[in-house]
Amino acid sequence: MSDIPVLAVNFPTTRWTLVLQGRAGLGPIYQQYREPLKAFLVRSRRLRPDVADDLLQQFFADKLLQQDVLTQVDKRKGKFRSFLLQVLKRFHLNTVRHDRAQRRSPQGPILEIESAQESDRDNGADLFDVMWAREALASALVLAKNYCDECRRPDIWGVLEARVLGPTLRGEPLVSYEELIIRFGFDSVAQACNVMVTGKRILERAVRQVISQYASNEEDVDEEIQSLFEILRHGPAELR
Amino acid sequence: MTVGPEDVYRCNSRSLATLLRLPESCDDMFTPAELGQVLEHQLRVAITADLRPGDGDWDEAAMARHNPPIRNWADLLFHDHPPVPVLLAAKAFAKPGQQGSQTPLPLEIAHCLYYGAIAAAFLRHGQLITTLATSDLMMGFQMLLNRAWLAPRLRDLFMSALTKLDKE
């Protein structure tokens, strides 16, 4: 039976490290969390997508870069995901107030503020969480694929794709066991099963790696996985 | 076309949730129809792919000298004179809960090998190489006989063992 390499996927830094680096770490944070934050602004705060983009750029430039808000994060208190959303909500509210003051118009802006302060009953926050979960899983998928490539084990990725990812993500039919044997030349059932189980483990480890970037310890990672599972299972099914 | 992160954004969120709860074993990965294919493959697998001579009192050369030679699992389980030491090693390999993470098999397939080794030793040598009570053994054979995907030759083996046990 061929040996399966031990998974040792490591990011150069954790997300929390990036956070604590302040400005230098903002690029990856912007890349990864832009879409969930934008989805929240569009859905919950009723902004047009282009306006949401502008606001997010302002948010990252002013709030996160100039004011270094992320360096105030206490990772022992609450989730990074919730923290980021709260900061954005306050930023949006302040922006609306600022706009009202500049326009000196007492009527329309009041409605805007009400809109900015409204509860998340419209599922905007739920959508943010779903988008966040999608971003985490998308990153994990890239990580798992890269790991299989680095280990030169296309069979592991191929089996994971044929038996788990294709059917789950694309609704593709399962590639039959007989086809797998032909395609990958497995000498034994144990070898085929070993590859299947290893693929699932690699994906699981990749998910944990991604989440550990913003969770402070293993217990938090477990809790966040459970939380993202519930979010995806019960959250809105809208697509981006 | 390979699956990519873009597929994560197109997928229904409820389906996506399942990726966060993947079972650790491979038991969930086969449909009942596929278990028949898996079993057929297992019967064709070389004994030495799963067992090593160090696992028991047997060697590969002696297996090859048997008439007919024993090379794969089918050769062993359906042989007229299967060597008991190899059957013991086979039973140990397939014993549920005894497999290490390096040799995973779907539980149902492991059951087939486990009870197959016992049935072969009992039918060809009159030896019960298990401490299972007769009633439990019969229940095990019956459980496998209820599987629609069971290979016909194994079905015959279990049926014969069940009949012989019943008579004793």
pLDDT of residue A125: 67
d(CA B74, CA B72): 6
Give, as one character, the DSSP assignment of residue A135: H
Cα-Cα-Cα-Cα torsion A182, A188, A190, A196, nearest 10 degrees, comes to -10
Question: What would the pLDDT profile of B77-93 be if each residue is shown by its tens digit?
Answer: 999 999 999 999 999 98
Shortest CA gap B167–chain A (Å): 35
- Contact across the interface for A190 and B50, Cβ inside 8 Å: yes
pLDDT of residue A164: 93
d(CA A197, CA A156): 9
Q: For residue A228, which residues of chain B lie inside 8 Å, CB to CB?
A: 20
Q: Closest-CA residue in chain B for A140?
A: B5
Report the alpha-carbon angle A38-A43-A47, nearest 5: 70
d(CA A94, CA A55): 12
Question: What would the pLDDT profile of A204-215 be if each residue is shown by its tens digit?
Answer: 999 998 888 777
Q: How much is the average pLDDT of A190-195?
A: 88
Of B20, B34, B103, Cβ closest to residue A176: B34
Tokens for B112, please give them. Answer: 């087939």
Q: Specify the amino acid at residue A184.
A: F
pLDDT of residue B38: 93
- Whether A236 contacts A162, CB under 8 Å: no
State ipTM.
0.80
Q: Which of A130, A149, A169 should one mutate to test binding to chain B, selecting the residue with the greatest count of B CBs within 10 A? A: A169
d(CA A14, CA A23): 15
Of A176, A193, A203, Cβ closest to residue B105: A193
Shortest CA gap B64–chain A (Å): 19
d(CA A191, CA A193): 5
Q: Check pLDDT > 50 for residue A65.
A: yes
- Contact across the interface for A138 and B42, Cβ inside 8 Å: no
d(CA B21, CA B107): 20
Q: Closest-CA residue in chain B for A240?
A: B9
d(CA A196, CA A215): 28
Q: How much is the average pLDDT of A184-199?
A: 89
Report the alpha-carbon angle A195-A201-A205, nearest 5: 145
Q: How much is the average pLDDT of A189-201?
A: 89
Q: Helix, strand, or coil here: A149?
A: helix
| Nearest in space to A125 (alpha carbons), one of A41, A55, A234 | A41
Sequence-separated (6 or more) residues with CB below 8 Å from residue A15: A25, A28, A29, A80, A213, A214
- Contact across the interface for B12 and A237, Cβ inside 8 Å: yes
Q: For residue B29, which residues of chain A lie inside 8 Å, CB to CB?
A: 163, 193, 196
Chain B positions touching chain A (beta carbons under 8 Å): 2-26, 29-31, 34, 37-38, 41-42, 45-46, 49-50, 101-106, 109
- Whether A198 contacts A4, CB under 8 Å: yes
- Contact across the interface for A177 and B3, Cβ inside 8 Å: no
Helices B32-44 and A189-212, interaxial angle, to 10°? 120
Q: Closest-CA residue in chain B for A35?
A: B9
| Nearest in space to B16 (alpha carbons), one of A83, A123, A203, A198 | A203
Top pLDDT among A113 and B18 is at B18
pLDDT of residue A66: 66
- Whether B68 contacts B75, CB under 8 Å: yes
In Å, how far are B29, B71, B74 from B61, measured between CA atoms?
A: 36, 10, 18
Q: For residue A1, which residues of chain B lie inside 8 Å, CB to CB?
A: 49, 102-103
d(CA A41, CA A15): 23
Question: What would the pLDDT profile of B91-118 be if each residue is shown by its tens digit?
Answer: 998 986 655 544 468 889 999 999 999 9
pTM of the predicted protein model: 0.75
Question: What would the pLDDT profile of A25-44 be if each residue is shown by its tens digit?
Answer: 566 667 777 888 888 888 77
Q: Check pLDDT > 70 for residue B167.
A: yes
Q: For residue A207, which residues of chain B lie inside 8 Å, CB to CB?
A: 19-20
> How many C-beta atoms lie closer than 10 Å to residue B142's C-beta?
12
Shortest CA gap B164–chain A (Å): 31
**Number of inter-chain CB pairs under 8 A, A vs B:** 132
The phi, psi pair for A51, rounded to 5°, reads: -70, -40
Shortest CA gap B102–chain A (Å): 7
Shortest CA gap B20–chain A (Å): 6
